[in-house]
Chains A and B, each alone.
Chain A
């Protein structure tokens, strides 16, 4: 596998460079090589070759990053779980993937029902970064996103998928990391956007700067930009939405690239933000987890490239080897200028949701193009293509929303909210836009007011914190639309949160 070989070469070549800065401690590529080799040896000694899926507790430390590379050198996949997520949900993920081994750098692991590889206390060993022969259809990672039935949904990504991503980004002349770059890595490793924020710096020999758990991330990002003179930023738009009141105080001439993804980027804030970064190229990336992070971008520039629809910056054109197709409800291509669902085809497409044939039948289809069968993923995003060939984002086709970059199925929140409620009443989860333009979650209950402590305790035990509604309203009777559906739009007006 070429990109794994390239990782080895980069780690060896940049031995004296810094690889990671975690809570003000710098680590070199040499340190990294030592950790990778130790963990790799422990993997080889502990697991058998047929165990391909290995759990990984995503702490903010050198061992956790080294574990990903150690697994890849061995041709294995990581199944990441966030230590701050309820252990019940994480255990469910291991159950769904039949993961028997868990790499955990925590002082005390809570996964004692599994075979734990305690990565903080492995003895020294010889450095060995030579990758095994890996077949492209083997898995590199599985990420779980919010699902509609209360169960998280697994998205497996193969080594070929990741190779497709690396190939496409390397083909892009506008984006080239160098060993002297200092890159922001603000994402939790269970979030697919993290793949580009660790993989590309590692391939280039650059240094990553992480956000400590428990830090107020918006201010910590600024602190890193300001004190560490970061040169490369990759973020979700909600970060700058929250920093917006302080833009007049931000001037970061060292930043050369700023990539956005994981949510709609609005043109007014993009313009203001670009004034804070006078020497920076801004990329508005698009891509779902199912298509290995990125599928394409629009090169935003406040003076020359501000194409937008309803104030949302264009998502541009597909990257190398990626196909975009906009379809109607019968999966038939619609003409230029007509809005439809955006579908993606190419080497980065996931083999399909983990053990979920029903969902796969809905989300993927094949289409004959010039005598070849091309497989497409239906993103659930509504888009249209303009006459210049750029794609523009219109909105979501279903009840999936983005909260701080995370995809959330409102149905999953409703499922858990209702499941432990003594009162069997209607509940609706909604995304409400606050005065900074960020989506927050609200829960509307069709009832007289009652104590929701138990419901919230249950939700907190079942879902990560970003999925817990921050606002609750009681409404005696839900408004309905003409066709009898609950009028969600009107329900949103009950939340005066600004």
Chain B
């Protein structure tokens, strides 16, 4: 799966949790840039992403995840 495909699936996970698609996701996108993306929805997004890719993140990775780029990198490393 290339990075673009990963990003598109990640976006689907965001839309399903946030219940809107009024945002763009790029490497440098953070929670500040997306309406409704905060602590609680982040946890739901993580769960959704884990389900989509059938992976399980490590707490150490999640702890240092600061933007969408970090998320994509971690997914890539798990696939």
User: Which residues in B have their C-beta under 8 angstroms from that of A249?
Assistant: 58-60
Do B31 and A214 touch (CB < 8 A)?
yes
Do B65 and A214 touch (CB < 8 A)?
no
Distance in angstroms from A219 CB to nearest chain B CB is 5
Do B43 and A218 touch (CB < 8 A)?
yes
Select one of B19, B32, B65 contacting A219, CB under 8 A: B65
Distance in angstroms from A24 CB to nearest chain B CB is 13
Supposing A214-B31, A214-B32, A242-B43 touch, asked if A219 and B38 sit within 8 A by C-beta, the answer is no
User: Which residues in A have their C-beta under 8 angstroms from that of B62?
Assistant: 216, 219, 246
User: Which residues in B have their C-beta under 8 angstroms from that of A222?
Assistant: 59, 63
Select one of A216, A470, A471 contacting B39, CB under 8 A: A216
User: Which residues in A have their C-beta under 8 angstroms from that of B42?
Assistant: 216, 218
Do A226 and B63 touch (CB < 8 A)?
yes
Select one of B19, B38, B59 contacting A250, CB under 8 A: B59
Is B40 close to A, CB under 8 A? yes
Supposing A214-B32, A216-B31, A219-B65 touch, asked if A404 and B60 sit within 8 A by C-beta, the answer is no
Select one of A214, A245, A404 contacting B40, CB under 8 A: A404
Q: How far is the CA of A242 from the CA of B38 in the complex (A)?
A: 13
Distance in angstroms from A212 CB to nearest chain B CB is 11
User: Which residues in A have their C-beta under 8 angstroms from that of B38?
Assistant: 216, 465
Chain A: interface size category = 20 to 34
User: Which residues in A have their C-beta under 8 angstroms from that of B43?
Assistant: 216, 218, 242, 436
Mask: chain B, 10-25; 1 = CB below 8 Å from A; 0 = not: 0000000001000000
Mask: chain A, 211-236; 1 = CB below 8 Å from B; 0 = not: 00011111110110010000000000
Mask: chain B, 21-41; 1 = CB below 8 Å from A; 0 = not: 000000000111000001111
Supposing A217-B39, A218-B43 touch, asked if A223 and B32 sit within 8 A by C-beta, the answer is no
User: Which residues in A have their C-beta under 8 angstroms from that of B60?
Assistant: 249
Q: How far is the CA of A307 from the CA of B8 in the complex (A)?
A: 48
User: Which residues in B have their C-beta under 8 angstroms from that of A218?
Assistant: 39, 42-43
User: Which residues in B have their C-beta under 8 angstroms from that of A223?
Assistant: 63-64
User: Which residues in A have their C-beta under 8 angstroms from that of B32?
Assistant: 214
Q: How far is the CA of A216 from the CA of B65 in the complex (A)?
A: 9
Distance in angstroms from B5 CB to nearest chain A CB is 25
Most buried by A among B30, B63, B65: B63
User: Which residues in B have their C-beta under 8 angstroms from that of A215?
Assistant: 39
Do A246 and B59 touch (CB < 8 A)?
yes
Mask: chain A, 235-246; 1 = CB below 8 Å from B; 0 = not: 000000011011
Distance in angstroms from B20 CB to nearest chain A CB is 9
Q: How far is the CA of A219 from the CA of B43 in the complex (A)?
A: 9
Smallest CB gap from A403: residue in B: B40
User: Which residues in B have their C-beta under 8 angstroms from that of A404?
Assistant: 40
Smallest CB gap from A217: residue in B: B39
Mask: chain A, 442-478; 1 = CB below 8 Å from B; 0 = not: 0000000000000000000000010000111000000
Distance in angstroms from A252 CB to nearest chain B CB is 12
Distance in angstroms from B30 CB to nearest chain A CB is 8
Smallest CB gap from A440: residue in B: B40
User: Which residues in B have their C-beta under 8 angstroms from that of A219?
Assistant: 59, 62-63, 65
Q: How far is the CA of A148 from the CA of B43 in the complex (A)?
A: 30
User: Which residues in B have their C-beta under 8 angstroms from that of A246?
Assistant: 58-59, 62
Mask: chain B, 49-62; 1 = CB below 8 Å from A; 0 = not: 00000000011101
Q: How far is the CA of A136 from the CA of B47 in the complex (A)?
A: 50
Smallest CB gap from A404: residue in B: B40
Q: How far is the CA of A217 from the CA of B38 in the complex (A)?
A: 9
Most buried by A among B47, B58, B65: B47
Q: How far is the CA of A232 from the CA of B59 in the complex (A)?
A: 21
Smallest CB gap from B57: residue in A: A246
Q: How far is the CA of A260 from the CA of B39 in the complex (A)?
A: 19
Distance in angstroms from B33 CB to nearest chain A CB is 11
User: Which residues in A have their C-beta under 8 angstroms from that of B64?
Assistant: 223
Q: List A233-274 residues whose CB lies under 8 Å from chain B.
A: 242-243, 245-246, 249-250
Q: How far is the CA of A215 from the CA of B47 in the complex (A)?
A: 18
Smallest CB gap from A438: residue in B: B40
Mask: chain A, 312-335; 1 = CB below 8 Å from B; 0 = not: 000000000000000000000000
* Given A216-B38, A465-B38, A471-B19, 7 new contacts (CB under 8 A): A214-B31, A214-B32, A216-B39, A218-B42, A219-B62, A219-B63, A246-B62
Chain A residues near B (Cβ < 8 Å): 214-220, 222-223, 226, 242-243, 245-246, 249-250, 404, 436, 440, 465, 470-472
4 residue pairs, one from A and one from B, having the closest CB atoms: A246-B59, A249-B59, A217-B39, A223-B63
Write 5 A-B pairs (CB below 8 A) sorted by A numbering: A216-B31, A216-B42, A219-B65, A242-B40, A249-B60
